[in-house]
Amino acid sequence: MKKFFGHVAVIGAFISFSFPVYAHEAHVHGVAQMNLAVEGPEVEIELDSPLGNFISFENQPETDAQKQEVRDMALIMREADKLFTLPPAAGCQLQEVSLESDALSADLLSPAGVRQVAAQNETGDEQAGDGHADLEAKIAFTCRNPEKLNSLTVNMFRAFPNLHEIEVQMVTPTGQKAAELTPESSTIRW
C-alpha cells in the first residue's frame, strides 16, 4: 500500500463506514494517522501512531518507571473526552476507548493496570522487531443531537508534546475529506 491513501483507496476503504485494517504504512515520528467517521449519532475515531509520540520508548517496558510511563499515558488516552472535543450542543458521550500496541502488554494499557487473563504474550518477539512500535487507539462517542455535530477539536498536542501532526481521513454527512492537524490548527469542521 502506498504511504498515504490515494483518493480511490479512501472511497473503497470507507464505503461501508467501517475502518480498514490498514498496514502500518507510515511510521514517522511526530506524525499520527487518524480516521474519523461520523454517521448518525456515532462518532468513531481510529488513531494509528508511532508509540514514541506518546511515551519515551518503543520497546517493551523493562523498568518500573517505564511501566508507570505506559500507565500514565493509558490514563490520559482513556479520558478521550478531554483529548477530543465535540460541540457541546451535540450532547456526546464517550462510549469506548481501546488501546493496542505490539510493544505493550494488555494489562499495562487497561484501566488501573488491571491484569487481564487475555494479556498478550509478554515475552514477545522483541528481537524480531526493528526497534519501532505503534499504538492504535479506537475511540467511540454517541451523541444525543447528531444534527449539531459539525466539528472536532483535537487536544492531543498539549498532552503529548512529541506529537506534531495528525493526518486525518474523514467521512462525515457532508462527504469525504482529508485534513492535517497541527498544534496551531487542531480543529476539523464539516
Please state, in angstroms and rounded to a whole number, the distance separating the CA atoms of residues 44 and 22: 16
- Give Cβ neighbours of residue 33 (< 8 Å, ≥ 6 apart): 26, 47, 48, 49, 166, 167, 169
Query: 53 or 172, CB closer to Zn ion?
Result: 53
Query: 58 or 167, CB closer to Zn ion?
Result: 58
Query: 50 or 61, CB closer to Zn ion?
Result: 50
Shortest separation between residue 55's beta carbon and Zn ion, angstroms: 11
- When asked if residue 132 is in the footprint of Zn ion (CB under 5 A), the reply is yes
Shortest separation between residue 148's beta carbon and Zn ion, angstroms: 38
Query: Among 50, 61, 73, 92, which residue sits at the site for Zn ion (rule: CB under 5 A)?
Result: 50
Query: 57 or 190, CB closer to Zn ion?
Result: 57
> In Å, how far are 86, 95, 99 from 134, measured between CA atoms?
26, 23, 11
Shortest separation between residue 190's beta carbon and Zn ion, angstroms: 31
The residue at minimum Cβ distance from Zn ion is: 132
Burial (CB count within 10 angstroms: exposed 0-12, middle 13-18, buried 19+), residue 59: middle
Query: 48 or 58, CB closer to Zn ion?
Result: 58
Classify 131 in phi/psi space as left (phi over 0), alpha (psi -120 to 50) or beta: left
With CB under 5 A as the contact rule, which of the stretches 13-21, 32-40, 69-77, 131-139 interacts with Zn ion?
131-139
Residue 6-45 contact track with Zn ion, rule CB under 5 A, x = bound? ----------------------------------------
- When asked if residue 164 is in the footprint of Zn ion (CB under 5 A), the reply is no
Please state, in angstroms and rounded to a whole number, the distance separating the CA atoms of residues 139 and 43: 8
User: Residues in the site for Zn ion, rule: CB under 5 A?
Assistant: 50, 58, 132
